[in-house]
């Protein structure tokens, strides 16, 4: 049975995670400060360390929420009632891949700072990444496997997982460079069109490569 003390601790933890998420969204990873988080959560600075080890572990909690939100968005995009046209289970694998890539790009643009934190944050030495975090990352890859398997039925399960990682990395790389405003990055105004063209090239190539 949950005690009153445990319930309060859980509530404080939730407030801190929500406060850190807002701070991260507004200021980015580099601007995130423990004092700002606790001030927004309405607690003393020391209270943070009563519910999490340190700020890095709190960031990990926020990142986990972001991963789950992204996973839900990707799954919704390819569900029978997905918001994107021709993205349901009966859609062609090409259309499904396009729906996934477009949803991923939209999520990155709309949640710029939170999305960047997923790939820029590093835990200090000695900290172990929780299994739940690894699984949430894996879910982003696994959603690509079904349409890819239809494009490349000749590939084994292990080969499909590897190819799904490569496909994810290709789209992610274009989006990441663009949102970081790198010199070689695609201008934001052209990003969605270029991602669409990239996925089209990959799906056509996959179809041609099938024995």
- What mean pLDDT do residues 86-103 have? 84
Are 151 and 164 a contacting pair, CB within 8 Å?
Answer: no
pLDDT of residue 117: 94
d(Cα 41, Cα 12) in Å, to the nearest integer?
8
Domains of the chain (ranges, CATH numbers): 1-52 (1.10.10), 55-209 (1.10.357.10)
> pTM score, two decimals?
0.89
What tens digit of pLDDT does each residue of 106-146 get?
A: 999 999 999 999 999 988 888 888 888 889 889 899 999 99
Both tokens assigned to 184: 């070689």
What tens digit of pLDDT does each residue of 185-210 get?
A: 899 999 999 999 999 999 998 877 77
What tens digit of pLDDT does each residue of 40-94 get?
A: 999 999 999 988 889 999 999 999 999 999 999 999 999 876 555 445 556 899 9
């Amino acid at each position: 049975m949950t005690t009153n003390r445990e319930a309060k601790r859980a509530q404080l933890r939730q407030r801190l995670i929500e406060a850190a998420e807002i701070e991260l969204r507004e200021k980015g990873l580099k601007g995130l400060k423990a004092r700002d988080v606790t001030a927004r959560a309405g607690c003393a600075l020391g209270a943070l360390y009563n519910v999490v080890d340190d700020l890095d572990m709190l960031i990990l909690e926020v990142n986990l929420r972001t991963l789950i939100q992204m996973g839900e968005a990707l799954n919704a995009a390819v569900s029978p009632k997905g918001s994107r046209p021709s993205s349901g289970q009966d859609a062609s694998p090409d259309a499904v891949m396009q729906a996934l890539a477009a949803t991923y790009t939209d999520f990155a643009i709309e949640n710029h700072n939170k999305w960047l934190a997923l790939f820029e944050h590093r835990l200090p030495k000695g900290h172990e990444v929780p299994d739940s975090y690894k699984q949430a990352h894996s879910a982003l890859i696994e959603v690509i496997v079904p349409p890819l398997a239809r494009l490349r039925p000749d590939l084994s399960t292990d080969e499909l997982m590897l190819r799904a990682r490569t496909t994810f990395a290709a789209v992610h790389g274009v989006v990441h460079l663009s949102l970081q405003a790198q010199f070689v990055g695609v201008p934001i105004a052209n990003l969605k069109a270029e991602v669409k063209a990239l996925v089209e090239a990959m799906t056509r190539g996959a179809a041609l490569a099938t024995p």
